[in-house]
Amino acid sequence: MPAHAATYWNKHVKCEAVDPDGRRIPTRLGNGELGWNHFSGKHNIRKYALVNIPLRDEVDKVDGADLQYWGWASHRAHGRVKLIVKARYGRRTDDRRYDAGGGHVISVITACCNGMRKCPDWVNE
């Protein structure tokens, strides 16, 4: 059977937050499937603060090593939207396609505005 190379993704840390439980949650550059490069294009989140807002509060949903954090972005003229940040607090993804390396975690996989394919432009102001 031929050996398969791991899927390429950039492990460089773009930003990092620490949640109230002391977990260091980095956001890696990633690629088109996970990390900063994924959600900054596909979901229109282009500011660190939008990722770090939910991460500074308690975990809202836990499923094994998968964590979800929720927060809010608001604007006087436009109202508010719920931000959802999904993180993998484990070395590998479930499908084993991505590996952060020994002693590291995959961390932020995606961030989005609840119920929207793309966040409105005003969240990045």
Euclidean distance between the first and the last CA atom of the chain, given in angstroms as a whole number = 51
Amino acid occupying residue 88: R
More confident residue, 125 or 2: 125
* pLDDT of res. 113: 96
Q: Report domain extents, the chain.
A: 13-115
75 pLDDT exceeds 90? no
pLDDT 10s digits, 18-44: 999 999 999 999 999 999 999 999 999
pLDDT at 91: 95
